[in-house]
Chain A
Amino acid sequence: MQAPRAPLLSLRKITKIFGEGDATVQALRGVDLDIYPGEFVAIMGTSGSGKSTAMNILGCLDAPTKGQYLVEGIPVESLSGDVLAALRNDRFGFVFQGFNLLPRTSALDNVELPLVYADVSASERHVRARRALAEVGLAGRERAHPNQLSGGQQQRVAIARALVNAPEVLLADEPTGNLDTRTSAEIMALLVALNRDRGITIVMVTHDVGIAAYAGRLVTFRDGLIISDQPRLAA
């Protein structure tokens, strides 16, 4: 590893407890994790290991019960709701297992959404959204609605949407979870290329060893703790 300067994202003794009273579940039990600019990190673990919870905290979609989360050294808990929204808008791009596209809404409109909230003018939104769709290989499908697209194509729309605001970090939660092997390989090739060519930091949650093998670093969770953190297995 070429001694990166400062971590981009840092989890410090993060604890997350769900539920109340007797029904509490401790999803994270004091996790420390640093992610550096330009990394491609795969987070693995069985279901219930806390990997998705950690991912949601990284993306500011959820807040820890205890501990500190720093983005570029700034503690997230000190930020207002609007600043968090701005952070989600221009620093992070999200790719979900279930795609999470707006139904009955064209691919183009879906991709434009982050730009709408970034106050980009309509004409520029169209240009940038078209370009993003072309980059994921969906030129010509701008008018298609999610239900007219295959799973792989829908995930490409989601990736285009995540990229349209040129974020530094792409957070992908089981991005191939709903896709077949061949489509999964295509999506992974796309993510690898984004990481390699554009230097986008990628954090990806998966339970599939084959998918994790695309990443440069593998972090494994078990019972709310990190049990291993190592560079890529298959060089």
Chain B
Amino acid sequence: MRLVTTTGLAVSALLRSKLRSLLTTLGVVIGVAAVIVMQSMGAGATAMVTGELSGMGSNMLMLVPGATQGMGGASLGAPLFTRADLEAIVRECPAVRSASVMNVRSVRVVTGDENRSTNLYGVSPTYLEIRQWLTVMGRSLTDEDERQGAKVCVIGETNRMELFGSVDPIGAEIRVHDMACTVVGVLEPKGASTFGQDQDDLVLMPASTYGRRIMGDDRIGVMMLSAAAEDRIDEAKAQVESLMRQRRRILEGEDNDFTVRDMRELIAIMGTITGVLTSLLAGVAAISLLVGGIGIMNIMLVSVTERTREIGIRLALGARARDILSQFLVEAVVLSLTGGLLGLVLGAAGSFAASRVLDLPFTLPAQAAALAVGVSVVVGVLFGVFPARKAAHLRPIEALRFE
């Protein structure tokens, strides 16, 4: 029989049972779409995390007290750093461009009628440059502020919104931990971090003011450093390490009681985390593909089995086994392909929608999509044709009598 005739037979058989065709297609559509959405979200999350980290400034280094532990963690109880340490690093490490204090604590900030808890950072004037962070209103902190221990602060977008709303905050006074303080600038909004933390919920003030007026302690918890260039990170790290060992009088053979971390380590750690996330999602996708495949298999088996009588009639009228087979093959291919393509479109649309809602970058994982469509079509065709093949090789009377 010619292909045109077979295709005609198959298509008219599909149109005769619109509901059955629709349900069969639906099985494929859902299987494919689920896998694509899942993979796209995984890829989107990964892309977002890596993008965010490299946006933080990849030649940034962090000096924290305590020995290195496991995945970049540091132990507590080691002595903090001093002003003299900071100045020594800037002076004696040529591969370090600049250094900043970063002391953090949680405080209450109060305006006329607003009162909220936020993170207070005591930082050097170089901090925003190291973090590659700009102000969108007013100015940033200056050397002058630092020298005088000025009662000024730069606030994050969340504090601007919560404390001032539509009022211009520049020049306004807020109380930070019961100290009156003038707002001189507002930071560019950064949004939520990878870990879901609001990066704009903060107040920056000069480290000297923070030390003297808030903590009564001038020591430094964390230092942020920037290497002179991206390819000098290792050099900077080595210089800082040897300088600090010397300054902290660590004997040869003894472990550091501080840690220098660079962003590459953080990126590597994040890579591990997103890798786990991606393989988790791949696992979920594999399961949904399996479930989808079983669904397709079932509906195909049921649909072909309930048509055994039809096959019997066709055999009695002179259809050869291969005529039956090619009809069911074309039917299964048409259904599975239609379902696969619809699932692809739906999955892409769903991924796009999810990326908008969850604020992730939109990526369409081509490999996963191809795999999903491929597996669904193969499963659909296999289980559409296999029972038909069985029925086509029955004696016509057995197929006719099939209930």
Q: Which residues of A contact B (CB under 8 A)?
A: 56, 59-63, 81-82, 85-86, 88-90, 94, 96, 100-105, 109, 113-114, 116-119, 122, 161, 165
Contact = CB atoms under 8 A, between A and B. Distances in A.
B400 interface: yes
Interface in B313-362: 313-323
Interface in B366-402: 395-398, 400
Given A117-B323, A119-B2, A61 B17 contact: no
Given A100-B400, A102-B310, A109-B12, A117 B395 contact: no
Interface of B: 1-2, 5, 8-9, 12, 16-17, 309-310, 312-323, 395-398, 400
Contact of B395 (A62, A104, A105, A116): A62
A90 B320 contact: no
Nearest to A62: B397
B21 to A, nearest CB: 12
Contact of B400 (A61, A89, A114): A61
B396 A88 contact: yes
Nearest to B17: A104
* B interface: dominant SS: helix
B319 to A, nearest CB: 5
Contacts of B5: 116, 119
A103 B319 CA distance: 18
B318 A81 contact: no
A105 B310 CA distance: 11
A100 B310 CA distance: 8
Given A62-B397, A100-B400, A104-B16, A117 B2 contact: no
A-B pairs with lowest CB-CB distance, top 5? A89-B318, A61-B397, A85-B320, A61-B396, A104-B16
B1 A119 contact: yes
12 contacts: A61-B397, A61-B400, A85-B315, A85-B318, A85-B320, A88-B396, A89-B318, A100-B400, A103-B16, A117-B319, A119-B2, A119-B5
Nearest to B313: A100
